Amino acid sequence: MKFQWRLSLIAIMLCTLISGCSTPTNTYKPQLSTTEQKQLQAEKLLSKATQAKPIASAELRAKAATLLMELGQKEKASQVLELIDISLLPPSLRFEIALLKSATALEQSRPEDAIRQLDKLQQISTAPLSREQKITILQTRSEAYQQQELWLSKAKALIQLGLLIETESTKQEIHDQIWSTLLNTSPADLSMQLQSGENSYYVQGWLELINEITHNKQLDTQHQAIENWSLLWEAHPARILPPSSLTGLGQETLKAHKIAILLPNKGKLARPAAAIREGILMAHLRMEPSSSQKPELLFLDSEAINTPIQLSAIVDEQNIDLIIGPLDKKRVTALASDNHIRIPILALNYSDAAGREGLYQFGLSAEDETKQIASRVWNDGAKNVAILTPDTAWGVKISQAFKVDFAELGGSIVSESTFSEISEYSTNISRLVATDNSKARYQKLRQITQAKFEFEEYRRQDIDAIVITALPNDARQLAPILAFNFAGDLPTYATSHIYSGSSDPVLDQDLNNILFLDTPWNLKPPSQDKLLISQQRTDTNSRFGRLYALGLDAYRIYPYLRQLSSIPGTAIQGETGTIQIDQNGLIARSLLWARYKDGTPQLVE
């Protein structure tokens, strides 16, 4: 049920109230339309009102005004109601007509007049208002403040309203409205009201709750903020019945007494697994709770466990509460279609199959980058794009993913090319931007005409931007060739492959103005975790170094897996990006944007 003022409801109440008035039933001629009948009836009511005593006159005018509102004659209805002095009326009629005046004002988008009528009603009322009357007044005030966009005043009215509502489902709706209204309120207004010292217990509790949430943007800190708030406001209505959007934040985090780390000790993935394992261990050692509360870590060699059934037996035997891993894509796919393991699994790769409940899939996916690049390119106004990628399996994968993402937005790929050998870079790029076509046309004209004439080489003009995927050494050679082929003025976007993780202002001068994305691990000042790992390892500032970040994030997010997947829009800021989980358990990362300036990456919005 929506708490909005409904003029039709008031009209019914009013007509019921004054149905005993002495207005005779009029018989209209059949040829009159319904509209004409209502118009004639309203005029007769107004005529009688001029001759009647105050109370009867008020009843007649109110009924006439209701008919005029139904006819769409809002201004005339308002004028009729202004003639009624509610101070001369008995309490019940005074209330109904004051509410009708307010409703009429709101219908005409005159919220100030609606508030004025309500204030006057409460000033002259001698008898206490009933709970139902208070509810109706607060509903009307709420709508008037909504029209004025006075969000804080609306929130206060709704807070009072919530205290009067007894039905839990309706109270929940009111709490949801309070929360959405507070979210609309400017931070400056909230801060001023919070510190005013004029708030009731109930208003102050709501304000402190919104303050905690808005000052803690990430899920992990929000969860802790709600726990802290709940300790101080145990009896507050928002503690007993939280807004729906906060219900998940208040639920208990995933408690794991024993975690199995399922990674390979040998094979082609052994070295990446070692870096991930080290990141997990660092996060475990730096976990805030005391060591007695920390989960026990059990390291398992994924190469020694062949089937999900074998893994299930180990889980049962060792009383494992959570699995982090595996890393191998085939093993993740096997777990995605298996139902033997009932505990949560935080896999470190993505399967080709749809995941089952309880399986969360997390990795350094190139698709996270292509989606963001496609969105950025489109929002920057580029609709026709050229793609340049390496002639490798991973280059093809990124190219295909970007084309799908950009097409979904409505964009077009007007040219694409790959590169492999350095000696062919110039040919690859001239083909990409079609400067080779202009040369070919010139040569053909020379052959036909045998004449000498000036020739100015040019590129195709239907390209709005260029998207490239290239490792640093390749990018340093490709960028000057793009400029030589008259594409230096085109906005250029790149995947994280363009950045090694370490700045080299001398070598990277040719990369200036290229916009790319990468992880906070590489682009932000080093965290304490990165500094500690860097004391032991020399490869933290490299593409390989992102694997330490993956291990750190995997351990840090596991307590919040359920909340992240069940509460839309929630996120945790990690070393690999801003982490979110969809309802299918797929983890996506939002990365940071940077632009090369003077050979050095500079963070941009």
pLDDT of residue 375: 96
pLDDT of residue 14: 46
Q: Give, in order, the Cα–Cα distances in Å from 14 to each of 5, 67, 95.
A: 14, 11, 10
Last residue within a domain, chosen from 214, 232, 251: 251
For the chain, state the CA radius of gyration.
35
374 and 509 part of one domain: yes
For residues 467 and 389, what is the distance between their CA atoms, to the nearest angstrom? 8
Confidence of residue 447 (pLDDT cuts 50, 70, 90): very low
pLDDT at 398 over 90: yes
Q: State pLDDT tens for residues 555-602.
A: 999 998 988 887 777 889 999 999 999 888 999 999 999 999 999 999
36 and 156 part of one domain: no
Last residue within a domain, chosen from 214, 231, 251: 251
pLDDT at 7 over 80: no
Q: How many independent structural domains does the chain possess?
A: 3
Confidence of residue 434 (pLDDT cuts 50, 70, 90): low
Q: State pLDDT tens for residues 97-133.
A: 788 888 888 988 889 989 988 888 888 877 788 899 8
187 prior amide bond cis, ω within 30: no
DSSP string, 6-25: -HHHHHHHHHHHTTTS-PPP
Residue 294 lies in a domain: no
pLDDT at 446 over 70: no
Residue 137 lies in a domain: no
Task: Report percent pLDDT > 90 for the chain.
Answer: 54
Domain that holds residue 213: 149-251
For residues 91 and 397, what is the distance between their CA atoms, to the nearest angstrom? 76
Residue 419 lies in a domain: yes
Last residue within a domain, chosen from 199, 224, 251: 251
For residues 593 and 602, what is the distance between their CA atoms, to the nearest angstrom? 8
Residue 328 lies in a domain: no
Q: Which residues neighbour 311 within 8 Å (Cβ) at sequence distance 6 or greater?
A: 262, 305, 323, 335, 340, 341
Mean pLDDT of 354-376: 91
376 and 510 part of one domain: yes
DSSP string, 548-585: HHHHHHHHHHGGGHHHHHHSTT--EE-SSSEEEE-TTS
Q: State pLDDT tens for residues 128-170.
A: 888 998 999 999 999 999 999 999 999 999 999 999 999 999 9
Planar angle of CA 423, 366, 549, nearest 5 degrees: 110
The number of CA neighbours under 13 Å toward the Cβ of 262 is 33
Residue 547 lies in a domain: no
Q: What is the DSSP letter of 586?
A: B
Task: With beta carbons less than 8 A apart as the criterion, state whether 125 and 94 touch.
Answer: yes
DSSP string, 474-516: HHHHHHHHHHHTT-TTS-EEE-GGG--SS--TTGGGGGTT-EE
**Three-state SS at 232:** helix
Q: State pLDDT tens for residues 214-261.
A: 887 677 777 788 888 988 999 999 999 999 877 766 666 788 999 999
pTM attached to this predicted model: 0.68
464 and 382 part of one domain: yes
123 and 172 part of one domain: no
Long-range contacts of 501-505 (CB under 8 A, 24+ apart): 501/540, 501/541, 501/542, 501/543, 501/545, 501/546, 502/541, 502/542, 503/599, 503/600, 503/601, 504/599, 505/598, 505/599, 505/600
**Three-state SS at 406:** helix
